[in-house]
Copies of this chain bind each other. A is one copy, B any other.
């Protein structure tokens, strides 16, 4: 198999446990895959070792003739952000992964896809086999993002955007242009929008908001079942989905979720789509993992059905309701050929007529951007501190209490040598105290799944969601920049007033869409944080009350001693 050669620009000290490949500046390595995502490629060094490498550290020196079918034309692009880890319900250990599981997730998801009979004649992925994945469009990050590994230094020559590091060879407008946003802004997209496709944005005291339809609904994700096909050669887990507006249960596999996720990302250019839970590489048929995955998928579905735009989108409805194989394929193809995806999505927006003050919008966005970056860091910190504390509860706390407990049990054993009645009651109280401390130790160890883990999980979900935000904000940043450019061209007499006015109206549409989503996010964030903090504190209170009762029971034993 012919491979791409790349020259290493800087030293890279890879983490073997993360599957990373180390290299030195000046070395030549061979790129095996470029569709890993999050700024990571797969490569092989001269000595045959394979691993992940950060693309920004490399310069491609030779590209072979393609052996694969050519990739689809670049459409809207989004990087797959890091997703929350799978929490085992009993026993959560290890540090939260700092890098998104995008790479393996994607690979596995394609593997899965390959053996789906529904898609066998779908053309799109029919030739791909394990180890020979290909860029399916809507994936990959077009080099816009540096690998999302914390603690990695920004390489010389990288430009710092307010949204993070980007490669020097791409301007902050690239993402805007690639997304199709620029084409929309410049009036190059003129498709007619049907009434049902229109999405209304209204002005509210909290700013522009998506119009919320009355047809709110929920959708339960239940009963994961291990199913098989090809006479049992292939097996997979199917989850049962039942929307509240329907009597029909649909069966969906992770790969269907993954496909839907991709479609939503492609279509809703100003709406960050929360990442799906990580795909597990091993143990994916284990009961704990399946239950955990189901819970995470339920969380993802909950967020989607609550979204005023996504919840009423055709592709989402198709996903929630279609039970017929043929109809599924038709709907799938239709969604993939959606004419209003990417930059063209802005065409369907019906914002308020009132024009926006660009500087005001910019100021708002700047604050929001700080908010997103700040909250991302906050989430990381909170995950770490709660995780560390939970680890202490599982280990040291439990140990300390059981040490105290067994010391009192031993004391009771000694006291038992004195068999006089006056001593016996005390001995039994001391023995009970030992049990109480042992129990308290156990309680500490059982506590994290009740309070810390759900909280950490919620923080993880937000961390993932927040990490998808920069792309949406970059589109808006690009639009504003381009609109300003046009105003300047008008001043220089290089563009007509009416042309520029049209650009500004369309820039407002992009701003309205972005602001509506921003306000939706903030509203959800307040509701979510309130509820997660309430649950956490209630569980904590409950825990300490139980602990206090334990001690009170022990104290009572001394009344008769």
CB-CB contacts below 8 Å: A518-561 with B: 522-523, 525-526, 529-530, 533-534, 537-538, 540-541, 544-545, 547-548, 551-552, 554-555, 558, 561
The reply to whether B400 and A381 contact each other, CB–CB distance below 8 Å, is no
Choose the segment among A133-141, A243-251, A420-428 that binds chain B (4+ C-beta atoms closer than 8 Å): A420-428
Residue on B nearest A540 in the bound complex, by CB? B551
Partner of A544, one of B374, B418, B433, B548: B548
A93 sits at the interface (CB 8 A):
no
**Cα-based distance from A540 to B551 in the complex (angstroms):** 8
Contacts of A420 in B (CB 8 A): 206, 522
Which residues of the partner chain B approach A423 to less than 8 Å between Cβ atoms? 522, 525-526
A303 within 8 A of B: no
List residues of chain B with CB within 8 A of the CB of A377: 410
A423 to B533, CA, bound (A): 14
Interface of A is mostly: helix
- A510 CB contacts on chain B under 8 angstroms: none
- Among the 9-residue stretches A152-160, A228-236, A259-267, A384-392, the one with 4 or more Cβ atoms under 8 Å from chain B is A384-392
Residues of B within 8 A of A422 (CB): 206, 523, 526
Which chain B positions have C-beta within 8 A of A540? 551
Indicate if A396 sits at the interface (CB-CB under 8 A).
Answer: yes
User: How many copies, total?
Assistant: 2
A417 within 8 A of B: yes
Task: Fill in one digit per residue for A364-378: 1 if any B CB lies within 8 Å of its CB, else 0.
Answer: 000110110011011
CB of A555, distance to nearest CB on chain B (Å): 4
A533 to B411 alpha-carbon distance, docked (Å): 12
A429 interface residue per 8 A CB criterion: yes
Complex Cα spacing A548 to B552, Å: 15
A454 to chain B, nearest CB (A): 16
- Max count, chain B CB within 10 A of own CB: residue among A404, A411, A554: A411
| A-B CB contact pairs (8 Å), 21 listed | A206-B420, A371-B414, A375-B414, A378-B407, A378-B410, A382-B411, A385-B403, A385-B404, A385-B407, A392-B396, A415-B529, A422-B526, A423-B522, A430-B529, A433-B537, A537-B555, A537-B558, A541-B552, A541-B555, A544-B547, A545-B548
CA distance A418 to B403 in the complex (A): 48
Residue A413 CB within 8 A of the other chain: yes
A400 contacts which of B385, B426, B530, B558 (Cβ < 8 Å)?
B385
Q: Whose C-beta in chain B lies nearest to the C-beta of A393?
A: B400
Contact A400 B392 (CB under 8 A): yes
CA distance A167 to B403 in the complex (A): 35
State whether A538 and B561 are in contact (beta carbons under 8 Å apart), knowing that A410-B381, A414-B374, A426-B529 are contacts in the complex.
Answer: no
- Let me know if B410 and A386 touch, CB within 8 A: no
Taken together as a complex, chains A and B put the C-alpha atoms of A528 and B408 apart, in Å, by: 15
Chain B residues near A552: list those with CB within 8 A.
Answer: 537, 541
Q: Enumerate chain B residues within 8 angstroms of A371, measured Cβ to Cβ.
A: 414, 417-418
Given A522-B420, A555-B534, does the pair A407, B382 have CB atoms closer than 8 Å?
Answer: yes
Complex-state Cα separation, A530 to B556, whole angstroms: 11
Contact present for A381 and B367 (CB under 8 Å):
no
Contact of A430 among B368, B533, B551 (CB under 8 A): B533
Query: Which residues of B are found within 8 Å of A533, using beta-carbon distances?
Result: 429-430, 433, 558
- Report the nearest B residue to A555, measured CB to CB: B537
The 8 closest A-B pairs by CB, nearest first: A374-B414, A537-B555, A378-B411, A544-B548, A371-B417, A385-B403, A381-B407, A530-B561
Chain B residue nearest to A530 (CB atoms) is B561
Nearest-neighbor residue (CB-CB) of A561 within chain B? B530
Q: B418 and A522: CB pair below 8 A?
A: yes
**8 Å CB contacts to B: which residues of A320-373?**
367-368, 370-371
Q: Is the CB of A400 within 8 A of B404?
A: no
- What 1/0 flags go to A97-140 for Cβ under 8 Å of B? 00000000000000000000000000000000000000000000
Q: Which of A367, A368, A403, A551 has the most CB of B within 10 A?
A: A551
Output the nearest chain B residue to A413 by Cβ-Cβ distance. B374
Q: Which residues of B are found within 8 Å of A523, using beta-carbon distances?
A: 422
Contact of A541 among B403, B408, B429, B548 (CB under 8 A): B548
From B400, B414, B417, A389 is in contact (CB under 8 Å) with: B400
Which B-chain residue is minimally distant from A400 (CB atoms)?
Answer: B389
Return A536 CB to nearest CB of chain B, in Å. Answer: 9
Report the separation of the CA atoms of residues A407 and B411 in the bound assembly, to the nearest whole angstrom: 42
Besides A381-B407, A526-B561, A544-B548, 15 other A-B contacts (C-beta < 8 A): A206-B420, A367-B417, A374-B417, A375-B414, A378-B414, A385-B403, A389-B403, A423-B522, A433-B533, A530-B561, A537-B552, A541-B551, A544-B547, A544-B551, A545-B548
